[in-house]
Amino acid sequence: MTRRGFVSNGAYEHRALVVNEDGVQVWKRHDELQVGDWMVLQKGQNLWGENVTFDWHPAKPVLVKRIQVPEQMTPELARWLGYLIAEGDVRPDGTIRFTNIEDELRNDYVHLTEQLFGVTPRLYPSVVQMNNVALADFMKYIGFHTGAYNKEIPWSVLQSSRECVLEFLAGYFAGDGTVNLGGRLSWTTASERLAEQMQIVLLNLGVVSRRVQTHQRASKDAPYRDYWSITASGEDADRLASHMRLLPMRKQLAYEKAYAQQPRAGRADIIPFTAVYWTTISDELQNVMKSRMVADGTGYREREGAYQVLGEDYINLHMLRTGTNMCTREMATKILNKLEGWVEPPTGLSTLLNASQFYDPIMSIEDTEADCWDLHVPGSNTFISNGIVNHNCDEKFLYVLLTLSQEQNIKTGRFSMIYADEVVVSHTNEHEYQSFVGNKKSEALQDRIILAKVPYNLRVSDEVKIYEKLLKQSSLKNVHIAPYTLYIAGIFAVLTRLEPSKKAGMSIMKKLKLYDGQDMEDFRQKDVRELQEEAVREGMDGISPRYVINRLSNALIQQNVTFITPIDALRSLRDGLDQHTSITREERERYLNFIHEARREYDEIARKEVQRAFVYSFEESARTMLNNYLDNVEAYC
């Protein structure tokens, strides 16, 4: 983590851009990074999406008719969400609360609710409240998460236009934002995820902020808890205020009073390791002045010559070349402007003064575990992750694997060469493998690879066993999962992997049950082989077990509940399709149909269970009546 709270995660071989002690930007592997290294970060990219179009399908279709909803993300909806992320919550029973006492914000919130949804909330002294299950379901669909520690910027806002993002920030600042002394703009939140998102969104706007963890009270009588603050200071605060509305008006007035119409320097403009460049500039300036004075026949004095060009900044140049003062962008620009026509700035210094970059030192390094992705950006050697400039995955690692396959030796991290006479087993998806095969640089390694195509599981009963195993290994092992929850989720997953059959009367649901060992009307287990021969690529595409487990976890954690039902599972699987980046619109529509198929199957199972319970209850009642009758007969006799 850097001083300002930016985080870079990567494998040992992953490379990031840093500034070395000679003032040169170089690529450095993650296992070579040290505390004190200055990382290169990018700001002001201004990359935004287009306003997201909604396709809301609630679990209960009747909910669609109960409210009006926008067809796409709008600035008004984004601001409304910002209000609720700051000071709102949604309860499981559909109660939506906005806790605030300022009339300006309460009136705007009520107006937006009426305008967007046709619903009029009820006003209480400190709370604006409404009970609407349909609206609560829509909020969940567009990415609203409940619980102070679970809140984050809704996906529907993040993927939308700059205008919508700015209105969300305005609404969020109205509730959780503060104008501090000196005109600093800051937010405080209990959600680490939200704090990370805020910092990156501000960076996209060109605003460099600082993210720090604090231990404080939410109110005078509340216990101490961990919170996160995001603060923009100086020039960055001014830049943010020029883009984002400060709500309510009292915060705008407080900022204007602190600002006092005086522009301020940015606190993120320190340029590291520039002393060598200023020494070169100073020496060259002396040589130029000496040559001119000698040519003019005047005596040369070092201080007087430089002072004629720089004036009072002569002292600043001296302090920069000796390293007495840290170099700021403002100071460097001022001196170089005065030296124009006298000295040409070194290329390395000009690179460091790139206005779209800034630098932040590493404060801590930790070994962690995380999923590792092999990322390559076509047409470029670099990409930006969390603001940090990164390099494409190093193709030299392919040579490491090649050496391992030939010589049985491998160099890992900081350790020496290791002997490894083993078979290396790796797994990936088909698209990644085809990309690997298409890379001509990996041809020698491809010759030493034995490809084994392993399709996804196609038996629902085995799919359930996979889920049970994964859940036992996770933090959800003690969570109550209602009967048939994993079975219904497995039906959906397997349906996405099956290919339609050309056999007459063979629906995809019948095919699923046949594969699972059940005999169906007009079809028997002997037909399974013919079905498999008909679809040779079956199981090579579809939803993975990992996706299902992630969505089940999301349903439990985001809703802050301790159990999950089949309906909860289907709803979470459906909501996740909107955020699934690797499926097309056509695939999404097909998967939604499979969710409806799984829902119908669950309805049939529930109907049979109710009938079975009724019959069992009737048998118990009949047995009790018979026993009572026999007791009465015996007593009479």
Sequence spans of domains, the chain: 1-43+356-367+374-394, 61-259, 270-355, 396-446, 460-498+539-602
Interval 366-384: pLDDT, tens: 888 777 666 555 545 567 7
Cis peptide before 361 (omega within 30 of 0): no
Q: What is the mean pLDDT of the chain?
A: 84
DSSP H stretches of helix in 189-274: 192-204, 234-243, 249-259
Considering only residues 207 and 504, tell me which one the structure prediction assigns the higher pLDDT.
Answer: 207
What number is the average pLDDT over the span 137-162?
Answer: 94
Please tell me what DSSP assigns to residue 471: H
Decide if 25 contacts 34 (C-beta within 8 A).
no
Can you tell me the distance from the alpha carbon of 483 to that of 560, in angstroms, rounded to the nearest whole number?
Answer: 20
pLDDT at res. 61: 77
pLDDT band with cut points at 50, 70 and 90 for residue 632: low
Residue 36 has pLDDT above 80, yes or no: yes
pLDDT at res. 385: 79
Interval 118-128: pLDDT, tens: 999 999 999 99
Interval 259-272: pLDDT, tens: 765 656 655 689 99
**Can you tell me whether residue 30 is helix, strand or coil?**
helix
pLDDT at res. 494: 94
pLDDT at res. 575: 85
Q: Pick from 521, 495, 458, 506: which is nearest to 593 by CA?
A: 495
pLDDT at res. 66: 79
Least confident of 260-264, 319-323, 594-598: 260-264
Considering only residues 459 and 608, tell me which one the structure prediction assigns the higher pLDDT.
Answer: 459
**Exposure string over 515-542, b if 16+ CB within 10 A, otherwise e:** bbeeebeebeeebeeebeeebeebbebb
Interval 533-548: pLDDT, tens: 888 889 888 888 888 8
Percent of the chain predicted with pLDDT > 70: 80
Q: Which of 259-268, 302-311, 329-338, 432-441 has the highest mean pLDDT?
A: 329-338
Q: What architecture is domain 1-43+356-367+374-394?
A: Beta Complex (2.170)
Q: What is the token pair recorded at 508?
A: 């995809």
Residue 364 has pLDDT above 80, yes or no: yes
Least confident of 244-253, 351-360, 421-430, 441-450: 421-430
pTM (two decimals): 0.64
Interval 45-102: pLDDT, tens: 888 999 999 999 887 777 777 789 999 999 999 999 999 999 999 998 999 999 999 9
What number is the average pLDDT over the span 7-16?
Answer: 83
Place of tokens 């005065």: 338
Can you tell me the distance from the alpha carbon of 388 to that of 358, in angstroms, rounded to the nearest whole number?
Answer: 10
Residue 247 has pLDDT above 70, yes or no: yes
pLDDT at res. 301: 57
DSSP string, 335-364: HHHHTTTT-PPPHHHHHHT-TTEEEEEB--
Decide if 9 contacts 368 (C-beta within 8 A).
yes
Considering only residues 292 and 38, tell me which one the structure prediction assigns the higher pLDDT.
Answer: 38
Q: What is the CATH number of domain 61-259?
A: 3.10.28.10
Q: What is the token pair recorded at 7?
A: 């985080």
pLDDT at res. 116: 97
Considering only residues 583 and 124, tell me which one the structure prediction assigns the higher pLDDT.
Answer: 124
> C-alpha angle 325/329/335, rounded to 5°?
75
pLDDT band with cut points at 50, 70 and 90 for residue 395: low
Residue 436 has pLDDT above 80, yes or no: no
Residue 16 has pLDDT above 60, yes or no: yes
pLDDT at res. 367: 84
What number is the average pLDDT over the span 498-522?
Answer: 88
Percent of the chain predicted with pLDDT > 90: 44
What number is the average pLDDT over the span 554-583?
Answer: 77
Can you tell me the distance from the alpha carbon of 488 to that of 274, in angstroms, rounded to the nearest whole number?
Answer: 63
pLDDT at res. 299: 56
pLDDT at res. 157: 96
Give the E-state strand segments of 104-239 in sequence order.
122-123, 127-131, 177-179, 185-189, 210-217, 224-232
Decide if 501 contacts 535 (C-beta within 8 A).
yes
Residue 452 has pLDDT above 80, yes or no: no
Residue 580 has pLDDT above 80, yes or no: no
Decide if 561 contacts 609 (C-beta within 8 A).
no
Can you tell me the distance from the alpha carbon of 633 to that of 197, in angstroms, rounded to the nearest whole number?
Answer: 78
Residue 633 has pLDDT above 60, yes or no: no
